């Protein structure tokens, strides 16, 4: 989560909402890819930290299936990212701050654990939640 927080800081420096993500290999020790929000930087509404990180991890592996991998992200994924995580077949999602307004891993929605879907990753929330939330609060306070 500390590496994801570092990525979130990079997003904030570029004027983007400070969210950072890291994809770990199945052994849980190797970083396959990182990402941070780049919507403002690229003008791409899909340039969320999670989407960028899983795209980069898939490119690194040469495979779209991220079976066994873990995504660590500073903010609970939104519905778009939750759908992408299900489709990429990540095994585990670890997030920091809950997103009561748009979270899709248990707060507002629970897309990733919907029993109607063919893949349901494990979800671990509230990891360094206060630090992750503080970064977001400071960013929006400064705006």
Catalytic (active-site) positions = 50
112 secondary structure, DSSP code? G
- Structure-block tokens of residue 72: 């660590």
The annotated binding site is made up of: 48, 78, 81
Tokens of 56: 């980069």
| Residue numbers belonging to the annotated binding site for Zn(2+) | 48, 78, 81
Three-state secondary structure call for residue 73: strand
Strand 20-24 to strand 92-97: parallel, antiparallel, or no bridges (unpaired)?
unpaired
């Amino acid at each position: 989560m500390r590496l994801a927080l570092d990525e979130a800081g990079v997003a904030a420096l570029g004027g983007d909402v400070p969210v950072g993500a890291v994809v770990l290999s199945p052994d849980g020790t190797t970083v396959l890819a990182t990402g941070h929000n780049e919507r403002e930087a690229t003008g791409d509404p899909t340039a969320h930290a999670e989407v960028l990180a899983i795209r980069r991890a898939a490119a690194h592996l040469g495979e779209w299936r991220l079976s066994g991998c873990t995504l660590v992200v500073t903010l609970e994924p939104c519905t778009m990212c939750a759908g992408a995580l299900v489709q990429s077949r990540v095994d585990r999602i670890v997030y920091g701050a809950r997103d009561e307004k748009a979270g899709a891993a248990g707060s507002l929605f629970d897309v990733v654990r919907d029993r109607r879907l063919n893949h349901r990753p494990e979800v671990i929330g509230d990891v360094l939640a206060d630090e992750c939330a503080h970064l977001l609060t400071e960013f929006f306070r400064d705006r």
